[in-house]
Amino acid sequence: MWGGYARPGDPAAVHDCYYQRAVNDPGVAQLWAYTDGLSYAPGETVKVHVSTTAPSFDIHLTRDGARPRQVWTRRSCAGAFHRTPEDCSVAGCGWPVMLEIPVDPDWPSGVYLLSLTAEVPGGGALSYDHLFIIRPGGGARDERLLLVAATGTWTAYNDWGGSNHYEGITGPGGDRFSPVLSLDRPFAKGFVSLPADAPRIPLKEPPALGAPLRYPHMEWAYANGYSKKYASAGWAQYERPFLCWLEEQGFSVDVVSGQDLHFRPEILDRYACILFVGHDEYWSWEMRDAVERYTERGGNVARFAGNFLWQIRYEDRGRIQVCYKYRAAGEDPFRTSDRRHLTTTCWDAPVTGRPGAETFGLSGTRGIYAGWGGCAPRGPGGFTVYRPDHWVFEGADLYYGDVLGASSRLFGYEVDGVDLVVRDGLPYATGVDGAPDSLEIVAMGLSTVFEADHGNGGTPFIGAEDAAFLANELHGDASPQMLDRYKRGCGMIATFTRGAGCVFNAGSCEWVAGLIDRDPQVERVTRNVLARFLKKLA
């Protein structure tokens, strides 16, 4: 069911908060589910919470990837309808456990899809997809990659029930985003599975001269009954196509959640290389600690992801995610406590004392938007190469000034950068924003935090809001002169060393688009990084 409405094709409609949720009417056909955890170890039990108006339903469990494999089935499960609280986005749905699935020790680590189907009395059918992760078992795993799914970002964008960290039905007027989100609810449609033709956010073709601002992915979402946030986060849009490519290329991959990085950082120690992909925006202090300790001891980090930006906190064993974001200065109770460094604002805010670039070399505050709306919509779509002789480009046949990944539009929709100077045609990090001394920028592109409006029609989705926030939060100055500074940013590919380890950062959400399109140069760079970090020949 959907609440709030917009007209397909109407650019102004993207501001409507339309969302998916259960209806407290047993006469309305519906089928929903969630699990009691995001990840499970071999031998543990998955508890599945279901609410449906169907008298019975079937459930299938499949390990997803390049070659999906069904591992468990149960048919004719007795259905039961349960009411859903109005504040389920914040407090959870509270449905009882309807069935349990024991995790077979022989099931390999990965993402497992729960597919529920039911027949509606009188004709018709219902279906719903959910997922969970099976963590790897014990023992050394140096020959395998460890993919850390961006589950903090999944949660932040999941609008099932009405509220996420962006829009919502909370607050006194019932129209505010929620800084507190529960994981005890389903994922919105599009987060778990998507059709192959679902649009990505970067515009595939540059807008015509004088064209109004449009956001095709949002128009598609509304027209087809998907969450408008499907293109911003979720397994289906980012991690899944990347993992499928890895498996097709012969890489062995284990998977954990972001919460595992927070609560079980020791998992990292068994791997030579850990991997972050797609839109990976929300991180806890403990997650950063885990990655920095790992690289200090000699671990390698491959980040094919963008928009490293917000600090979060976890509560209730990771089932509650907290991020006050734009309202942190006035509402986050940690702001005035002895743990003020845990205030859930952007990492580069002075209150945290921990600039984002310290962990991954790049930060979202220096980059952000490219290739969509009024944010550099006619840019080249790829990274301009500045240091073609760097090891990441070996065998890719790239020259100085070439643009990597342009046809796939892999530069966007959100990118990360650092403060820089250009000398003799080469970019260098200044270090004023926490960038490591060893950071080497090998490729770069232009971005902005400010969405320009040329008056051609359409309603800007970004506008000047983010620029104003950063100017005020980072500098205490939202003057026109400071806002002008955020009209210019950059995204980068960079490497650096920390202790005995190395970090590669292709600071873009959309790197996976080059793998989906099988761009040979993008594939070569990806293999170079992973092979080197796994200590294998490319």
The pLDDT tens digits along the chain (538 residues) read 433 323 333 333 333 446 889 999 999 999 999 999 999 999 999 999 999 999 999 999 999 999 999 999 999 999 999 999 999 999 999 999 999 999 999 999 999 999 999 998 888 899 999 999 999 998 777 799 999 999 999 999 999 999 999 999 998 999 999 999 999 999 999 999 999 999 999 999 999 999 999 999 999 999 999 999 999 999 999 999 999 999 999 999 999 999 999 999 999 999 999 999 999 999 999 999 999 999 999 999 999 999 999 999 999 999 999 999 999 999 999 999 999 999 999 999 999 999 999 999 999 999 999 999 999 999 999 999 999 999 999 999 999 999 999 999 999 999 999 999 999 999 999 999 999 999 999 999 999 999 999 999 999 999 999 999 999 999 999 899 999 999 999 999 999 999 999 999 999 999 999 999 999 999 999 999 999 999 854 3
Residue 70 lies in a domain: yes
String of DSSP letters for 315-353: EGGGTEEE--GGGHHHH-GGGGSTTGGG-SSBTTSTTT-
Tell me the per-residue pLDDT of 505-519, one tens digit each, with 9 for 90 and over.
Answer: 999 999 999 999 999
Residue 504 lies in a domain: no
Non-local CB neighbours of 480 within 8 Å, separated by 6+ positions: none
Distance of CA 269 to the CA centre of its chain: 24
Residue 508 lies in a domain: no
The 45-52 sheet, strands edge to edge:
31-35, 45-52, 97-102
The helix/strand/coil state of 376 is coil
Geometric angle at alpha carbon 515, from 510 and 518, rounded to 5°: 135
Distance CA 42, CA 198 (A): 34
The CATH number of the domain holding residue 26 is: 2.60.40.1930
User: What's the pLDDT at 536?
Assistant: 55
Residue 117: domain span: 21-135
Alpha helices in 25-165 (DSSP H): 88-91, 151-157
Beta strands in 169-324 (DSSP E): 180-182, 253-257, 273-279, 282-284, 300-306, 310-315, 320-322
Q: 515 to each of 27, 177, 198, 249, 308, how far by Cα in Å?
A: 45, 34, 16, 11, 21
Residue 358 lies in a domain: no
Non-local CB neighbours of 138 within 8 Å, separated by 6+ positions: none
Q: Are 510 and 200 in contact (CB under 8 A)?
A: yes
Dihedral sign computed on CA atoms, order 330, 333, 335, 341: negative
Distance CA 44, CA 385 (A): 47
User: What's the pLDDT at 23?
Assistant: 93
Q: Are 537 and 531 in contact (CB under 8 A)?
A: yes
Beta-bridge partner residues of 426: 423
Distance CA 222, CA 441 (A): 39
- Total domains, the chain: 1
Q: Are 305 and 239 in contact (CB under 8 A)?
A: no
Helix (H) / strand (E) containing 97: strand 97-102
Residue 117 lies in a domain: yes
Residue 289 lies in a domain: no
pTM for the model: 0.96
User: What's the pLDDT at 10?
Assistant: 37
Distance CA 240, CA 168 (A): 27
User: What's the pLDDT at 12?
Assistant: 34
Tell me the per-residue pLDDT of 194-237, one tens digit each, with 9 for 90 and over.
Answer: 999 999 999 999 999 999 999 999 999 999 999 999 999 999 99
Distance CA 158, CA 155 (A): 5
Distance CA 441, CA 492 (A): 7
Distance CA 386, CA 392 (A): 12
Beta-bridge partner residues of 32: 51
Non-local CB neighbours of 188 within 8 Å, separated by 6+ positions: 19, 20, 158, 159, 160, 226, 227, 229, 230
Non-local CB neighbours of 513 within 8 Å, separated by 6+ positions: 200, 202, 405, 408, 409, 410
Two tokens, residue 153: 């970002």
The helix/strand/coil state of 124 is coil
Distance CA 354, CA 360 (A): 12
Residue 30 DSSP class = -
User: What's the pLDDT at 9?
Assistant: 38
Residue 78 lies in a domain: yes
Residue 73 lies in a domain: yes
